[in-house]
Amino acid sequence: MSDFIVSARKYRPSTFNAVVGQSSITSTLKNAIKSNQLAQSFLFCGPRGIGKTSCARILAKTINCENITENIEACNECVSCKSFNENASFNVHELDAASNNSVDDIRRLVDQVRFAPQIGEYNIYIIDEVHMLSTQAFNAFLKTLEEPPKHAKFILATTEKHKIIPTILSRCQIFDFKRVGINDISNHLAFVAKSEEITADQEAFHLIAQKSDGSLRDSLSLFDRLISFSEKELTYQGVIAHLNILDYEYYFKVTAALLKNDINTLLLLFNEILDNGFDGHHFIIGLSEHLRDILVAKDESTLQLLEKGETLQQRYLEQSKLSELSFLIRALSLCNECDVQYKESNNKRLLVELSLMRISSIGHQTAEKKSPKSFIVTLNDEKKQISVEKVTEIEKTTESHKKPEIESNSEVADITPKSIPRISLLSKKKSKTISIAAAFKQMNEKKDVEEEMDISKLRSTDFSSTKMLESWKEVISFVKQKGKSNLGITLGVFLPELNDNFVIVLPLSNHSQVEMILEEKYMILEFLRNKLENDYIEITTKVIKGAKNNIPYTNKDKFSKMMKQNPYLETLRMKLGLDPDY
């Protein structure tokens, strides 16, 4: 049985051109080598599995190569390159700071730095996970890092740049590595699959790339695991089954049901998702991402932001044409609201189902609110389509062709030109035909009558200023019973004034009191309107300049006011030994 080498090691890049997704950094390093402007120390930062250590090794190999190519790559033929490829180079020293993080380890490294290389031009020291060094070790490393010998180069790599002390950062040339894009990972996996003679779907590569979260090493590890499971054949359905991923097919079905306001289908789909072992929180986050992708697909110029296969991009484009922009924005807002409330909810399933129904109702309401461009009416027992614009024209024509009142037992009232269509209204007694314009007019008149009836229900009992002041005292008692003593005191500082149109003006001392009144205005209004049986009452405030504010806001103020009324309270305070600052 031959020794198996994992894909992450087997296909580890050995040249700058082979590094995936870090073209800006590799170009900078190649230009620095070409112009002979290499820094003494480098710091490679970024998430795991994106090529930091690989770039450090390639840089170390290239700067010691005796015959660098025109493309600024190592030749792989000189003594230095061969020894490096065989892991036998005496010029490249790798240190794992996670297990060698003490002061003594760094001191031994500093002692080695003094010796010149036997072969090649530089001694390169690669320190991985450098953030694991202790503060003392960092301090012991500072002087050497700042002024190393000409033959020494340091390449530090870390996933947690914020843990490195500023004095180290200031002595390094920093390169921030980015997460590898989904398309880059997908293309690299396709290359590996072709090299290994593995049959695979492009959509499967995209799914693995999405699951790896920008880490190329993680994607290759997942790839190896799936190949072991599927035996040289990688399919989209196989990836979903093995990784237990919530398929985007569900989200397309859910979105289609949302647009149709099909609540039964929504509940069944969500139940199926839960039965497959997926969490409701994971589902609602995935749905918000799906809706975001549909929003992006509303414009073909932004389709490239989806980072999905061409077939899948086309599906998003098709569904985006069926979705209104207002629906998508409101749906995303509701998904976000559900996401925030999920952890605090006691009935999580009901929360998600309610959110789905609310989103679905948005689509339904949006469909209802769209003003139809045409509708079907019956004309002489035949169905014909009438446009809204035609109805407007009919109304104008009807107004200009009004005739005297027609007898009610006339079967057809010819009060419009022949070009105006008529809508048939069947009743139990007799079939009568009236014009569309007349029908619309009756509807508008009915609406006006309903509004007049609503206004007539408002109470408007007249009352005097004296009766208002009596009710005002009851308001003060009412708010004090509600536990709002400061509000009650504020209402009693000045007497209110009754103006025209039932407007009550309340004088106040300052703007803080105005804000207090505004916060409770509707509670006061409701009490007064019910007490005086008048729904037209309004309250306004005005600030009296120079007015003295007698409202005791603090305990000290309240005690001082009480003491003016009863001086013996101070004697009581002293006997009880209370704090003089109250």
The pLDDT tens digits for 323-332 are 888 889 999 9
CA distance 67 to 77: 8
Backbone angles phi, psi at 51, to 5 degrees: 110, 20
Contact 58, 22 (CB under 8 A): no
Query: In whole angstroms, how far apart are CA 429 and each of 11, 304, 353, 409?
Result: 88, 65, 49, 11
CA distance 519 to 129: 57
Residues of the chain with confidence (pLDDT) below 70: 1-3, 363-457, 546-555, 557, 579-582
In the 8-state DSSP scheme, what is residue 534? B
Residues 6+ apart with CB under 8 A from 92: 57, 60, 61, 64, 84, 124, 126
What pLDDT score was predicted for residue 550?
53
Count of CB atoms situated within 10 Å of the CB of 117: 17
In terms of phi and psi (left: phi > 0; alpha: psi -120 to 50; beta: otherwise), the region of 29 is: alpha
**CATH 1.10.8.60 intervals, the chain:** 182-243
DSSP helix/strand/coil, 498: strand
CATH number, span 182-243: 1.10.8.60
- In CATH terms, the fold of domain 7-176 is Rossmann fold (3.40.50)
Tokens coding 334: 């509701």
Query: Which residues pair with residue 385 across a beta bridge?
Result: 376
CATH number, span 248-369: 1.20.272.10
What pLDDT score was predicted for residue 141?
87
**CATH 1.20.272.10 intervals, the chain:** 248-369
**CATH 3.30.300.180 intervals, the chain:** 465-543
What pLDDT score was predicted for residue 304?
72
The pLDDT tens digits for 509-562 are 887 788 888 888 888 888 888 888 888 889 888 888 755 555 555 667 677 777
For the four alpha carbons of 280, 284, 289 and 294, in that order, the dihedral sign comes to positive
User: If 0-12 CB within 10 Å is exposed, 13-18 middle and 19+ buried, where does residue 539 land?
Assistant: middle
The closest alpha carbon to 330, from 367, 362, 369, 370, belongs to 362
**CATH 3.40.50.300 intervals, the chain:** 7-176
CATH number, span 465-543: 3.30.300.180
What pLDDT score was predicted for residue 549?
53
What pLDDT score was predicted for residue 416?
38
